[in-house]
Structure 1
Amino acid sequence: MFASLAPARRRLVFAVLALLLVGIVAAVAAFVVTRPTSDPVASVDQSVPGPVLLIPGFGGSTESLDVLAAELRDDGRDATVVALPDGGVGDLTVQAGTLRDAVDAALTRTGATSVDVVGYSAGGVVARIWAADLGGSEQARRIVTLGSPHHGTQVAALAAQFVPDQCADACQQLAPDSSVLTALNSGDETPEGPQWVSIWTELDQVVTPPSSASLDGAIDIPVQSVCADSTVDHGNLPRDPLVGAMVSAQLDGDSTVELGTADCSRLSS
């Protein structure tokens, strides 16, 4: 077809076709970039608090969270500690399904439209999986995590490497390079809908480094940034009076709040 054309005219035709091809590619790229991927999640009403669900950490022990739950009940809140399957050492995604069922049951029981969730240690990761993958971002008003290894802990990595037979599924998934954490942190770490807070201690020897508990998009509060002399460690986060007061402050009112040294005296009293 083009062979019969004069060289100059052939070059002109090829140039026009090239311009048309560039235009088509640009139009397709613009469509891909601008097309909506999904409808945004509406922010949950912050003015009406519902029940509080507390999620244990690795091992599933409820003892320390029972202390925090009792404090929240003294504040007039409906607070329940969620019992995790497999002794709290099984697949974190399965644990997130248990949280989903507990939330649905709490909403049915109370008639509330949303819940507040407090996740301790691995429980904070469970809360994030629920929010990101199981519709939790449409049901949660506030999500507060306590000493949660959002970006993994070297303790789990060492256990997975040197004693793999003793590092259960949840342990393996809490290693920094696990597929669960890689997927969870590959996009928005704090999906729209709830308000997010991460409370952690700089003296954590379980979540290593402690800054792994920092969560992009959340109000980020090391306990020592409020009271510099706090010696709370990982295991005592849920039962520490200062931390309990910090959690209550985040679940009260119409919004979460930044906390600092000016709040130490008030929260410690």
Structure 2
Amino acid sequence: MAVMRVVWRLTAAIVLCATGAGVAAAANTPRTTMAAILDGVTEAPGPALGVNHELLAEALVCGDAGSRDGAVLLVHGTGLTASESWDRTYVPVLTADGYSVCTVRLPMRALADAQVSSEYVVYAVRTLYERFGGAVDVITHSQGALEARWAIRFWPDIGDKLDDLIMLSGSSHGTIAADAVCLQQLKGSTESVAQQRPDSLFLSALNNGDETPAGPDYTSIYSFTDEIVVTSALNPSPAIAGATNVAVQQVCPFRPVMHIPMITDAVAYALARDALDNDGAADVDRIDRGAACARLVAAGMTPVDALINAATYLPAAASIFLTRAMDEPALMPYARSALPGDVQTPSSRPLRSLVSSAFGLAGPRLSVP
């Protein structure tokens, strides 16, 4: 067995070098750490990664190592790319402040099966943990929260490798917008959109039991004026039990923040940075409310950056509505046991699901101040 392991490591290293697959994920990585990285992505506990390692490596892009310990991984949302979400927003600002920043590009603009997309996050966290030699902070937007939480739940080593999970407008309990898309397309929607319907099998498995498994500090930042991940004061979809759940309106009452502009919002960024820069989750009492509320765009970003970011509504909407209709994918074998006993199939009636979600007929999950 030891001989086979050595042969596998040598073979994998040769393939990575020959194909260039390791360039994005392991650029500037000393050779002495390559074996550790290979171990981290191939021999760690949890389900075997089914995605080709070349694709996983190509999707991970890192800048130069910063002066701070560890690394920050940015995970984008539905209908977007890593570049569209982060290249003019969190990447340059965090890099300028000494963070080692990496992005992961989820397949098909994050329209593919979220279970598959989660493998990209698993690979990224393991690789960054080995490469940068410290705990990884993960910042997500929208659907990205689902991939990060799925990775923590079903791959036991991931939670131990994380310091913070910071979610911006996370669709943790689904969104009625997904039901609306399914209703509009009549025969279904893209795979990940179908998985974001509030009664999907994916969300039923993800949210059954402990919503914040041991590992990172969880911060969920959201807005009551989000038009995509629609929330209410009593039953906000982004809020998860056991996390620090903060609406931007708790810092600045009546502040209007929509879904994609959450990435450039000054208050959301202040909360995210508070979690990054301090032990534990974000703490509203540490926020300089006057400074945060006086700004529309996060410090270090410009109004032009915000406008370009807001313009990504167009490619996001086009990709969602023009992609051929698909049903929700079946759960992977490793996730089926996580389903509640009374849940076997998702609702095939998007109109009934939409009405039920809109009026909160399932009842509130938790009370959020």
Pairwise same-fold verdict (TM > 0.5): yes
Name 1:179's counterpart in structure 2. 201
Name 1:14's counterpart in structure 2. none
Task: Give the superposition deviation at 1:177.
Answer: 0.2
Map residues 113-152 of structure 1 onto 2, 5 A cutoff: 114-135=135-156, 136-152=158-174
Contact 1:122 1:148 in 2 (8 A): yes
Task: Give the superposition deviation at 1:149.
Answer: 1.2
Q: Which has the larger radius of gyration?
A: 1
Map residues 81-120 of structure 1 onto 2, 5 A cutoff: 81-112=103-134, 114-120=135-141
Residues 145, 164 of structure 1: CA spacing in aligned structure 2 closer, same or farther, 3 A cutoff? farther
Name 1:215's counterpart in structure 2. 240
Q: For 2:70, which of 31, 45, 50 is the aligned residue?
A: 50
Coordinate RMSD, CA, aligned: 1.9
Distance 1:172 1:250 in 2: 31
Give the TM-score normalised by structure 2.
0.57
SS at match of 1:145: strand
Q: For 1:59, which of 79, 85, 102 is the aligned residue?
A: 79
Q: 1:159 and 2:181 equivalent?
A: yes
Contact 1:225 1:261 in 2 (8 A): no
Name 1:28's counterpart in structure 2. none
Task: Give the superposition deviation at 1:260.
Answer: 5.1
Letter in 2 for 1:99: V
Letter in 2 for 1:259: V
Farther off after superposition, 115-124 or 158-167: 158-167
Name 1:248's counterpart in structure 2. 273
Runs of 4+ in structure 1 over 6 Å off:
none
SS at match of 1:213: coil
Distance 1:72 1:198 in 2: 19
Distance 2:175 2:192 in 1: 12
Please give the per-residue CA displacement for 1:23-65, whole angstroms capped at 9, x wherever unaligned: xxxxxxxxxxxxxxxxxxxxxxxxx952000100001322232
Letter in 1 for 2:207: N
Name 1:76's counterpart in structure 2. 98
Contact 1:227 1:261 in 2 (8 A): no
Task: Give the superposition deviation at 1:197.
Answer: 0.4
Contact 2:274 2:283 in 1 (8 A): no
Distance 2:115 2:173 in 1: 16
Name 1:234's counterpart in structure 2. 259
Residues 164, 116 of structure 1: CA spacing in aligned structure 2 closer, same or farther, 3 A cutoff? farther
Contact 1:226 1:260 in 2 (8 A): no
Task: Give the superposition deviation at 1:109.
Answer: 2.2
Contact 1:156 1:174 in 2 (8 A): yes
Task: Give the superposition deviation at 1:166.
Answer: 6.3
Q: 1:203 and 2:225 equivalent?
A: yes
Residues 137, 237 of structure 1: CA spacing in aligned structure 2 closer, same or farther, 3 A cutoff? same
SS at match of 1:221: strand
Task: Give the superposition deviation at 1:97.
Answer: 0.3
Contact 1:154 1:209 in 2 (8 A): no
Letter in 2 for 1:61: T
Farther off after superposition, 237-246 or 94-103: 237-246
SS at match of 1:53: strand
Contact 1:52 1:77 in 2 (8 A): yes
SS at match of 1:212: coil
Farther off after superposition, 117-126 or 128-137: 128-137
Task: Give the superposition deviation at 1:111.
Answer: 2.2
